[in-house]
Amino acid sequence: MTLQTFELIWKIVRELIAEVFKISLLSYLLFYLIEDFFPGFVSGFFSMNILLGIVVGSGVFTVVSQKEENQEGEKKEAKNKIRALDIVFIVILSVIAGGLIYFKTKDLGKLGLAISIISGIIILLMSILLLMEDDYDKPSEN
Amino acid sequence: MIDKVVKIIKVVLWLIPVLLVFWLFDKNFAPRGILSAKCDADKCSKLVAAFATKETDKIIGVTKDGDRYRQINHDPIYFTIKTSRPFAKAKITAEFSNPDNQPVFNFGLQAANGAYVFKNVFSYNSLIEQLEKDWEVIKENDSYLFTRPEEIEKQVLSIKNQEPNNKNEDIKKVDKKPVKKYSSIDEFANNLPPLDEVRAHNYDLSDHIRLKDYKPSDKRLEINNTLRGPHEIITYIENEPLDFKFVFQDINRHKGADNFSIIVSRNGNKVLEKKVEDDGISKASGVVKNPKEADIYLEKPAFGVYAISIQAKDDDIFIKKISTRQSLVVFKDHLYFADDNEYKVLDGVVSRSSDILYSGSIISARTSHKSALQTMTVDKKSLTIKEVNKNYELKRSKTQLGLLPIAVPKSDVYLSTDGFFIFDSRQFFNPDLGAVLNLGADVPENINYVVAQYPKLTDFGDGWLKVEAEFSGKELYRDNKGQYNFILQIPGLPENKRFLKLRKIEVEFAKEPITIFNLWTKVKTKYKL
């Protein structure tokens, strides 16, 4: 096996494991959410710890391999400019998050409604702030 | 090329959680109507909890063939199964090896009241085992009909014939009718021989016992006496429709609506319920409306004894007339005559005397009105009611046999007995049609048939056995946590230092499958749309 072939295989493995991390993390969060609303729906038939193990394993691998990649100077230029679509996406997610919080706190009455609205706004502002921070930091990296 | 392969792998990876979601939907909603949960030697399905908690140590063994098993030393084995929705049936199966010949196995399921409903799945009976070898047998699933074979009968007779001083008895025995052979257990049950020739083991024949020499009548029987309040009528039906017509009237002397039900039942099981609505007057005004008719009709009821219970809440309801196609009609426990001027507000009710017969060992009478204080004649003896709302009794003497007549001069009286009341002796029958006795320690000579429910262990042939039981309907109770609580009872296991090698316990739940045709109905039912 030549060095080039090895590097190619390594690259593919890294890419696939990063994909596994994304899939397993998303699935874990989705199942966790379902389980929270419908206890036993997932855990009655499937151990979520299996998924958690995959998330942790693939996550650690992805972080470590990404670090190696950075050290080798194979940085890719990120495109972090905020687009209108990003804002729409953030707003939708914030509304969903606020809705979920209201669903879980609705027994508190008006206080539950207030908590969910404030939480939704905080999530919205934090998300925008995070994106803007990336955008702002960029010139100093160069 | 490599990029394409990587893309395909990524698509496959994304498909895995999607398929997992579909699988979870299938498990939770059981759209095909089936859900199973099991425990094997090492572990249980995630739905199963608290399995065999009485076993202090988890002892796992392996047979020569490599079958893994869990050693069971304690009785009983409890376990619970949590399901996301209720099911209509549950079939429970256990596979095990029985090295110490444990003789009894019962499966049970906890009912709503906390008690377990048990099903005997195996109970060794040496007499049944012997009959299976010696008598002719018809086997249908777990049911057996054993018929005394001719050879045994002849042997008994030939032994008797050898005794010289017993000639007359021998002749009698030789004249004995040959034992009738049946081709199926159903044929036997529907054409039972004389009951003194039959014994039963865990088998209920009460639904199959007929009234001897009964023929339906082609005339209607009419009872025109006015009766007050709730009553229970017992009748016998065979090859005829069940047909009763009642006329009711509400006297409205008590507060509250007087709607009530007429319930028809056979052997304690409800067959029909007819609701009769109130006349619209709920005040205790004494205002009377027109009489109402209520019909009870079943075209082809199964033969047997039926109870027709008029479940009036209080004494406001008067039965003005009963008309029926049934020829055998008796009144159980009590009769409240109400043909008296006290109730003249009701159509056609005037004071008159009444005559009745009763079958009980004791007769008791009372009245609520001074005007009905009287002396009745019970089979030539007097029974005087001296005060209102007080019971006066008369016991049957040893010489008084059969039905006894009662002459009631003033028909405002409540009569009760521990037997039945009849308006005409031709209407009488004994609702206790007899019973088949249970099999004892041996089979008496006069017994020609033994019918038995005798489930056996299924033998796989390699040392492993199987027992199974099914629970359905009201037996299948799911508690408020969504759990079914099962039990496998193995009486005497620890006391006799026996043990079992349990390979598997499995429960298969079943319900109606979800289809596009019933989906909307199910949603409507679930969310009460």
**pLDDT in the model for residue B172:** 47
Bridge partner residues of B91 (DSSP): B470, B508
Would you place residue A109 in the very low, low, confident or very high pLDDT band (cuts 50, 70, 90)?
Answer: confident
Residues of A with CB below 8 A from B43's CB?
none
Would you place residue A76 in the very low, low, confident or very high pLDDT band (cuts 50, 70, 90)?
Answer: low
What average pLDDT does the segment B297-321 reach? 93
Bridge partner residues of B105 (DSSP): B122
Contact of B19 with chain A, judged by CB distance below 8 Å, is answered with no
**pLDDT in the model for residue A71:** 63
**Does the structure show a pLDDT above 80 at B303?**
yes
Please confirm whether the linkage preceding B76 is cis (ω < 30° from 0).
yes
**pLDDT in the model for residue B463:** 85
Would you place residue A5 in the very low, low, confident or very high pLDDT band (cuts 50, 70, 90)?
Answer: confident
pLDDT digits (tens, 9 = 90+) for B235-262: 999 999 999 999 999 999 999 899 999 9
Residues of A with CB below 8 A from B49's CB?
none
Contact of B8 with chain A, judged by CB distance below 8 Å, is answered with no
**Does the structure show a pLDDT above 60 at A140?**
no
Contact (Cβ atoms closer than 8 angstroms) between residue B125 and residue B201: yes
**Does the structure show a pLDDT above 80 at A142?**
no
B35-119+457-513: which CATH topology?
Jelly Rolls (2.60.120)
Contact (Cβ atoms closer than 8 angstroms) between residue A42 and residue B36: no
Q: Distance (Å) from the C-alpha of residue A8 to the closest C-alpha of chain B?
A: 10
Contact of A52 with chain B, judged by CB distance below 8 Å, is answered with no
Q: What is the mean pLDDT of chain A?
A: 83
- CB-CB: which of B6, B16, B24 is closest to A16? B6
Distance between CA B442 and CA B444 in Å, rounded? 6
Burial of B81 (0-12, 13-18, 19+ CB in 10 A): buried
Would you place residue B120 in the very low, low, confident or very high pLDDT band (cuts 50, 70, 90)?
Answer: confident
Q: Distance (Å) from the C-alpha of residue B472 to the closest C-alpha of chain A?
A: 23
Angle at CA of residue B271, ends B265 and B272, nearest 5°:
100
pLDDT digits (tens, 9 = 90+) for B349-368: 989 999 999 999 999 999 99
**Does the structure show a pLDDT above 90 at B39?**
yes
Write the Ramachandran bin of B20: left for phi over 0, alpha for psi from -120 to 50, otherwise beta.
Answer: alpha
Contact (Cβ atoms closer than 8 angstroms) between residue B259 and residue B290: no
**Does the structure show a pLDDT above 90 at B157?**
no
Contact of A39 with chain B, judged by CB distance below 8 Å, is answered with no
Tokens of A100: 């979920």
Mutate to test the interface with A, among B1, B3, B12, B14 (most CBs of A within 10 A): B14
What average pLDDT does the segment B66-80 reach? 92
- Specify the residue for token string 């406001």: B316
- Specify the residue for token string 């039912």: B525
Q: Distance (Å) from the C-alpha of residue B414 to the closest C-alpha of chain A?
A: 59
Domain residue ranges of chain B, discontinuous segments joined by +: 35-119+457-513, 126-209+436-453, 221-427
**pLDDT in the model for residue A72:** 59
Report the residue of chain A nearest B36, measured CA to CA: A45
- CB-CB: which of B6, B17, B84 is closest to A15? B6
